[in-house]
Structure 1
Amino acid sequence: MPEGDSVHRVAARLHETLAGQVLTAAELRVPAHATADLSGRRVLEVVPRGKHLLTRLDGGLTLHTHLRMDGRWAVFRPGERWTGAPHWQIRAVLGTGRGTAVGYRLPVVELLRTADEQQAVGHLGPDLLGPDWDPAEAVHRLLAHPARPLAEALLDQRNLAGIGNIYANELCFLAGVTPWTPVGELSGPDRLVVRAHRLLDANRLRPGHITTGDTRRGHQQWVYGRAGRPCARCGTLVLTAVHGTPPRERPAYWCPFCQRGPAPEARPGPFPGASGRRSR
């Protein structure tokens, strides 16, 4: 599932192409909205809310989409051939004189009244990249269940919105604890929340989810995706195991020297299926 900074960049690209423009082509290729006619409506704005995308139209309508693991939006210039995925994977098309936004494999395509957006995103915690960002509220929500493993709590969008598995693992590393450390045992949860905001804000305009400060490929994260390779700080081999419960289990990565706390039986090598499955 993409990280909040990636969704922020997608929203910015869609906003650049669509905002202020009248839709000359509009298709929602999902059963619930297959007959909806949005042509002729003006796009007011495209805004992210955590990992959700809200495309607001005149007339009080909002197109709510979510990428989850496999969805993506692509933007094409006028007359440019749509490439990158088969056309049967298209779930939404929004075209203007400035360009066309095509949504592939979108698992969530929902048309709702703008006044009812809270039905789709009202459950979310403070948005790390949003105008509602409230670090004190984020800490309050995290600590509401002190026995919960830290990585799992960070991934819960009801606590704070925008963290994916890369940042969850990296934030555990930066806090010096394993992903299974109970939230209530964390020293300085306020510092962790502030650090999460700083990381996403620093990366919102660049790809790579950089946590080390090093933009070189293979050097961008401390432990994420480095199973069986040296920790980027101390050189100890990074371990991997599963965190979370089905169907939401994810690969966890940690350095047994830099991070203290509980951990299950670990694998010394790459997590099965993890290659190429980073959040994008």
Structure 2
Amino acid sequence: MPEGDTVWLAAHRLHSALADRVLTRSDLRVPRFATADLTGRTVLDVTPRGKHLLTRIEGGLTLHSHLRMDGSWQVYGTGERWRGGPAHQIRAILGNEAYTAVGYRLPVLELLRTADEEQAVGHLGPDLLGPDWDPDTAVANLLADPARPLGEALLDQRNLAGIGNVYKSELAFLARVTPWLPVGELPADTLARLVVTAQRLLDANKSRPERITTGRRGPGQRLYVYGREGRPCPRCGAPVRKADQGDGSRERPTYWCPGCQAGPTA
């Protein structure tokens, strides 16, 4: 699933291609909105909210989309070949004279009134990359259920919006605790630092396609533990382990070092 930094970059690309331009093509390929015609309207902006995308359109309308596991928005210049997937996977097309944005495999796509955006994103906690970011509120949200495992709490977008499975594992490693440690057992200063670090990492990665948490760009060196099962921990040398951990909706692969991360494990 794309994380907050990936969604921010997608929104930036969509905004650059669509904002302040009149739509000359509009095609929403979902039954509920298949007859909606947005041509002739100006796109006002494309704003990320956590892992959600809000495309605001003249006339008080917002096209809300969520990428989840497989969705993507691709931007093409006029006359450029579309390469995002087969035609039957296209769920949305928004075009102007210069660019065409094509949404592939979008599991969430709805047209709503801009005034009703809170119905789609009002449940989210403070956005790590948004103007509403508030680390104190994020910490308070996480501590509202002190018995909940850290990894599950970080993935719950109601606590703070933008963290996905990669950052969950990387942040637990940096905090030297396992993702299964109950949130309430983290020292207060450790949890506060973790939240601040999360925002700094997402902000540092939001404008580049590759995600880096280690500060190193070499192959296999960009992340501390995620995707490195069986390889030596960069801190203590112990083999990195992998197990599934739930997030309240499904099990997700989780990586940690048994040598230098304290706490319960799977």
Q: TM-score band (shorter)?
A: over 0.9
Instruction: Encode CA deviations 1:15-74: one digit per residue, 9 max, x unaligned.
Output: 000000000000000001000010000000000000000000010000000000000001
- Whole-Å Cα distance in 2 between the matches of residues 229 and 39 of structure 1? 53
CA contact (8 A) 1:127 1:161 kept: yes
- Whole-Å Cα distance in 2 between the matches of residues 43 and 232 of structure 1? 46
Task: Tell me if 1:201 matches 2:203.
Answer: yes
1:208 Cα deviation from its structure 2 partner? 2.3
CA contact (8 A) 2:151 2:168 kept: yes
Deviates more, 1:186-195 or 1:9-18: 186-195
Structure 1 alignment gaps of length 5 or more: 265-280
- Whole-Å Cα distance in 2 between the matches of residues 176 and 215 of structure 1? 23
1:245 Cα deviation from its structure 2 partner? 6.0
Task: Name the residue aligned to 2:59.
Answer: 59
What amino acid is the match of 1:214? R
CA contact (8 A) 1:149 1:183 kept: yes
CA contact (8 A) 1:221 1:232 kept: no
Task: Name the residue aligned to 1:84.
Answer: 84
1:160 Cα deviation from its structure 2 partner? 0.3
- Whole-Å Cα distance in 2 between the matches of residues 197 and 247 of structure 1? 24
CA contact (8 A) 2:156 2:247 kept: no
Task: Tell me if 1:40 matches 2:40.
Answer: yes
The correspondence of residues 179-258 of structure 1 with structure 2, limited to 5 A, is 179-187=179-187, 188-244=190-246, 247-258=249-260
- Whole-Å Cα distance in 2 between the matches of residues 66 and 55 of structure 1? 11
1:153 Cα deviation from its structure 2 partner? 0.3
Instruction: Encode CA deviations 1:179-222: one digit per residue, 9 max, x unaligned.
Output: 10000011221111001000001111112221111112210111
Task: Tell me if 1:70 matches 2:70.
Answer: yes
- Whole-Å Cα distance in 2 between the matches of residues 203 and 83 of structure 1? 25
What amino acid is the match of 2:220? G
- Residue 189 and residue 245 in structure 1: after superposition, are their counterparts in 2 closer, same or farther (change >3 A)? closer
What amino acid is the match of 1:157? Q
- The structure 1 segments of at least 4 consecutive aligned residues displaced by more than 6 Å after TM superposition are none
- Whole-Å Cα distance in 1 between the matches of residues 233 and 254 of structure 2? 14
Structure 2 alignment gaps of length 5 or more: none
CA contact (8 A) 1:5 1:200 kept: yes
Task: Name the residue aligned to 2:138.
Answer: 138
TM-score, length of structure 1 as denominator length = 0.93
CA contact (8 A) 2:153 2:247 kept: no
Task: Name the residue aligned to 1:263.
Answer: 265
Secondary structure of 2:253's counterpart equals strand
Secondary structure of 2:136's counterpart equals helix
What amino acid is the match of 1:92? A
- Calculate percent identity across the aligned residue pairs: 69
What amino acid is the match of 1:201? D
Secondary structure of 1:132's counterpart equals coil
Secondary structure of 2:153's counterpart equals helix
Task: Name the residue aligned to 1:273.
Answer: none
Deviates more, 1:182-191 or 1:22-31: 182-191
